[in-house]
Amino acid sequence: MAKAIFGAGCFWGVEAFFEKFEGITSTRVGYIGGNLENPSYEQVKTGKTGHAEAVKVEYDPTVITYSELVNIFFETHDPTSKNRQGADIGHQYRSAIFYNDPSQKYIAEEKIKEWDEKGTFKRPIVTEVVKTTTFYEAEEHHQKYLQKNGSVACGIG
C-alpha cells in the first residue's frame, strides 16, 4: 500500500471524509511538522509545538491515485484559509500536503495550480507542500473519533 499525509484542519472530520472512498485501506490521525517528540493532543492544540493535525492515508494505487487523493483533500476543507478551518484557529489547523517523494510533491504543486486556475475558490490556495517528517499517531481515543462518538460534525474537545 502507498501512503499520503494531509493536514486540513481538525483531523476528525478529515479522517471521516477520506474513509468514504474506495481504495483507501486505512487512516490514522496524528501530528506532523513540529518540534516536539511524541506530542500529545493537549500539547498540539495549544499551537506551541509547531505540529499540524493530520491524517495518514494508506491506499491501493491500483484503485485510487495520489492525484485523486489530492483532489479529495481540496474538497475536504478551505485551502485558501491560512491557519484556520471554521472555528479552529492556529498553525496546528493549517492546510498542508506532506509529500513522501518528488512525484507526490510534483503532483501536489500541479494540483494547486490546476485548482487555482479553475477558480473553484474565490481566493488563492495557501496550502503548504512540505516534505514528510515524523508522523506521531494521536492517542487511540482520537482514532475514528466521529465514528466512535456518533458525531456528524468536527469540533475540538
Catalytic residues: 10
Total count of residues recorded for the chain: 157
Q: What phi and psi values does residue 105 have, to the nearest 5 degrees?
A: -60, -50
Q: What phi and psi values does residue 145 have, to the nearest 5 degrees?
A: -55, -50
Going by C-alpha positions, the residue among 125, 117, 31 that lies closest to residue 75 is 125
- Intra-chain end-to-end CA distance of the chain, in Å: 32
Question: What cell numbers appear for 102 in the block?
Answer: 518528488
